[in-house]
A and B are shown apart, each in its own frame.
Chain A
Amino acid sequence: MNLAKILSALAAGLLFGAGLAVAGMTNPHKVLNFLDVTRHWDPSLALVMGSAIPVSAMAFWLARRRSRPLLEPGFVLPTNRRLERPLWIGSALFGIGWGLGGYCPGPAIASLTAPSIGLVGFIAALGLGLFLSSSAAKLVSRGPQTVSEKAPVRAR
Chain B
Amino acid sequence: MPTEFTPISALVGGLLIGAAILVLFHTLGRIAGVSGMISGAFRKATPTSERAWRFAFLGGLLLGPVVASQLSGQSLIQPSPASLPLLIVAGLAVGLGTGMANGCTSGHGVCGVSRLSPRSIVATGVFMAFGFLTASVGRHLFGG
Residues on A close to B: CB < 8 A? 1-2, 4-30, 32-33, 35-38, 40, 42-60, 62-63, 66, 68-72, 74-78, 80-83, 86-106, 108-114, 116-119, 121-134, 136-137, 140
Partner of A55, one of B14, B35, B138: B14
CB contacts (< 8 Å) of B58 on chain A: these are: 13, 109
CA distance A49 to B127 in the complex (A): 14
CB contacts (< 8 Å) of B76 on chain A: these are: 21-22, 24, 26-27
Classify the secondary structure of B's interface with A. helix
Q: Please indicate which of the listed interface residues B48, B72, B97, B113 has the most CB atoms of chain A within 10 Å of its own CB.
A: B97
Given A38-B140, A127-B95: A19 and B20 interface contact (C-beta under 8 Å): yes
Decide if A101 touches B27 in the complex (CB within 8 Å): no
Question: Which B residue's beta carbon lies closest to that of A91?
Answer: B126
Decide if A38 touches B91 in the complex (CB within 8 Å): no
What's the nearest-Cβ distance from chain B to residue A140, in Å? 7
Given A44-B7, A78-B117, A97-B89: A37 and B132 interface contact (C-beta under 8 Å): yes
Given A63-B25, A77-B31: A112 and B62 interface contact (C-beta under 8 Å): yes
CA distance A56 to B115 in the complex (A): 8
Residues on B close to A: CB < 8 A? 1-7, 9-32, 34-35, 38-39, 42, 48-49, 52-54, 56-69, 72, 75-84, 86-102, 104-106, 108-115, 117-119, 122-124, 126-136, 138-140, 142, 144
CB contacts (< 8 Å) of A2 on chain B: these are: 49
Partner of A42, one of B3, B25, B84, B106: B3
Partner of B35, one of A44, A78, A105: A105
Given A87-B119, A106-B34, A113-B77: A70 and B27 interface contact (C-beta under 8 Å): yes
Decide if A88 touches B122 in the complex (CB within 8 Å): yes
Partner of B122, one of A25, A83, A101, A126: A83
Taking A59-B26, A71-B27 as known contacts, 10 extra A-B pairs with beta carbons closer than 8 A to each other, sorted by chain A number, are: A8-B53, A21-B77, A56-B111, A98-B90, A99-B135, A104-B105, A114-B79, A125-B87, A125-B89, A126-B91
Given A44-B5, A100-B90: A90 and B14 interface contact (C-beta under 8 Å): no
Decide if A97 touches B111 in the complex (CB within 8 Å): no
CB contacts (< 8 Å) of B67 on chain A: these are: 14, 17-18
What's the nearest-Cβ distance from chain A to residue B139, in Å? 6
CB contacts (< 8 Å) of B1 on chain A: these are: 29, 40
Given A10-B60, A32-B135: A133 and B95 interface contact (C-beta under 8 Å): yes
CA distance A140 to B32 in the complex (A): 27
CB contacts (< 8 Å) of A122 on chain B: these are: 80, 87-88, 90-91, 94
CB contacts (< 8 Å) of B84 on chain A: these are: 117-118, 121
